[in-house]
Amino acid sequence: MAWYYWQDLTGPELATLADDAALAVLPVAAVEQHGPHLPLATDVTIGEGLLGAALERLRGDGAPVFVLPTLAIGASLEHTNFAGTLSLAPETAITTIESIGAALARAGVRRLLLFNSHGGNKAVLDLAALKLRAAHDMLVVKANYFRFAAPANTLAAQEMAHGLHGGALETSLMLHFAPEAVRRAHIADFKPIGARRAEAGATLLPEGDAGFAWMAEDLHPAGVAGDARMASAEHGAALAAQFGARLAEIIAETLAFDLNTIGPPR
């Protein structure tokens, strides 16, 4: 399939390309603190890097894929007590995504993939996607890269379970996509409350089948969760390849989805 950056097209070009077969991809990220070693743009850099890796696998003929401008500022309430975090109120974030989806529907695009690189956006995406489905009869797919399966032997299972923010996963991806942006002298083990509770035998953790609401400082005083010392550019390259391949699969399946299976018959 061919892909286009939405903002690079003219209005008439867009009108010619847009139809029920086309797909729009909206990268949704955040500008927020990631501790002393990672920049505020970490989620933006990772999300755009993984989307680029996916698109490289999808060159060829077929229905158009429109890449929308990244929604860089997301819902980051949990990080607002740290300097540098920019955050929309959840209600504002939902309304923003709804407005973008409504514009797509007016243009004739009824397939939307929300590609998310920030955990705090999950609930926002769930609600916005459902509202767009109800209001515009759209297929809205929600893909969170941090829920993709990681390659075997890349990072320890404990780190994948508890390294929720700024740990080895994000640091490895940043060492791959933007190594010059990583403040290597400040990489450390930010052992979070989830790991400590799990070691003590507790099952009530920040995330899981029964999780508690948390602010970043609840995880660790530095607002980071995970052992960033385990990160490497090699791990980042392996993660990026697997996550990019998975995202490419999701894009292909969204394009192939039969819209007649949802909503009223057409």
Q: What distances in angstroms separate CA 179 from CA 37, 188, 234, one per listed residue?
A: 11, 16, 12
Amino acid identity, position 163: G
In a domain? residue 220:
yes
Residue pair 233/172 in contact by the 8 Å Cβ criterion: yes
Return the exposure string of 26-54: e unless at least 16 CB atoms fall within 10 Å of the residue's CB, then b: bbbbbbbbbbbbbbbbbbbbbbbbbbebb
How confident is the model at residue 97, as a pLDDT?
98
Domain, as residue range, for 199: 3-261
Tell me how far apart the terminal alpha carbons of the chain are, to the nearest angstrom. 24
pLDDT-wise least confident of 56-60, 217-221, 241-245: 56-60
In a domain? residue 266:
no
Q: Is the pLDDT of residue 265 over 60?
A: no
φ, ψ for residue 134, nearest 5 deg: -70, -40
In a domain? residue 108:
yes
In a domain? residue 113:
yes
Task: Report the CATH number at residue 156.
Answer: 3.40.50.10310
Residue 264 pLDDT level (bands cut at 50, 70, 90)? low
| Tally of domains within the chain | 1
How confident is the model at residue 123, as a pLDDT?
97
Q: Is the pLDDT of residue 61 over 90?
A: no
Q: pTM for the whole thing?
A: 0.95
231: number of Cβ within 10 Å: 29
Token pair 């989307």: residue:
51
In a domain? residue 177:
yes
> CA 117 to CA 143: how far, in whole Å?
9
In a domain? residue 170:
yes
> CA 222 to CA 76: how far, in whole Å?
16
90-129: pLDDT as tens digits: 999 999 999 999 999 999 999 999 999 999 999 999 999 9
159-214: pLDDT as tens digits: 998 999 999 999 999 999 999 999 999 999 999 999 999 999 999 999 999 999 99
Q: How high is the mean pLDDT of the chain?
A: 95
In a domain? residue 184:
yes
